Amino acid sequence: MLISFLYVAVGLILLMGASDRFVEAAVRLARALGVSIVLIGALIVGLGTSLPELLVSVIAGADGKVDVAMANVTGSNVANVTLVLGTAAIAAPIMSRTRILRREGVLMFFAVSALAGVLWDGEISRIEGGGLLLGMAVALVLLIRWSATDVDGIIELEEGQEAHSVPGELLIGLAALAVTVFAARLLLDGALDLGERFGFGEAFLGVLLGIGTSLPELATTMAAVRRHESDLVIGNVLGSNLFNSLAVAGSAAVVGPGVLADLARPSLVIMIGVVVLAGWFAWGDQKVSRKEGIALLAVFLVFTALSY
């Protein structure tokens, strides 16, 4: 048990340090390339922090545990919108731009809805998985095209400020991301072991797994909040849910299609519901306020309690 507590402590320390450096590298990379910070947030931060979900779901799919793979995806999507975005908004209101919500936000909604539609009949095939992967390719093209017109989201160099090396910041960012994922794995292993020792049920441990694979998103999002990078926060959440719904679920289905025996339809409804709720919050006054962040976090706590 002492080792598990040590894993949790070391994991938390590494998460905070590595995620902060990862966000710094992402911002510098966006500035050096002259591209929208939302694009960097969606592609590099969002997709990069979803690597744990990809690894867990693909391995589970290869082992024939399609329920675990898809539960990990849906649970992570819920956690991203409620736990990650909610916690960030409580720390500091997250500003949103109408253009981003109309484009990237709607794209993420369609991705999550497509995943729910595929899973609704209680099974997923390789063809459906291939369709989700094709959707991911289309989403990437759209994100890149939209970023070219997102002048407001570009971070320009200030007078006298030197541009950082693109290869250097990319390598630093990848190294920081690797440490972030490793730290999340340590934290998750420690938490799951403690959960088993305290006699938690399998369903609740599954929720812990979903939370654990969302820890990189949470860590990088909080680091972005500390740096007042709202676009990076939005891009991270949008990119993570896009990648989870299309690339992660699609890859797991291609590797291990099958019947979903335990994944309940209410969880799919909740997944879509929290996306709509967060979108409504952000659309109203162009920000997610602290009160709205508390509401999102409350939804997450209720979801976790019901799973327990």
Write out the chain's pLDDT in tens, 308 residues.
Answer: 778 777 767 776 776 666 566 666 666 666 666 666 666 666 677 777 677 677 777 777 777 777 777 877 888 888 888 988 888 888 888 877 666 667 778 888 999 999 999 988 888 888 998 999 999 999 888 877 776 665 454 544 444 444 556 677 677 777 877 777 777 667 667 766 766 677 665 455 556 666 766 777 777 777 777 777 777 777 778 888 888 899 988 988 888 887 777 666 788 888 899 999 888 887 777 778 889 889 999 998 888 777 66
> Residue type at 190?
G
Position 58 in a domain: yes
CA distance 40 to 46: 8
Position 22 in a domain: no
Count of domains forming the chain: 1
What residues make up the domain containing 103?
A: 37-153+206-307
Query: How would you classify the pairing of strands 94-95 and 287-288?
Result: antiparallel
CA distance 275 to 77: 9
Q: What is the CATH number of the domain that holds 285?
A: 1.20.1420.30
Position 167 in a domain: no
Position 65 in a domain: yes
Structure tokens at 71: 């539960």
Position 283 in a domain: yes
CA distance 73 to 213: 9
> Which H or E element spans position 288?
strand 287-288
Position 267 in a domain: yes
Among the listed residues 238, 242, 248, the one whose alpha carbon sits nearest the alpha carbon of residue 279: 238
What does pTM read for this prediction?
0.75
> Residue type at 24?
E
Position 26 in a domain: no
CA distance 288 to 283: 9
Task: Determine the pLDDT at residue 206.
Answer: 56
Position 255 in a domain: yes
Burial of 161 (0-12, 13-18, 19+ CB in 10 A): exposed
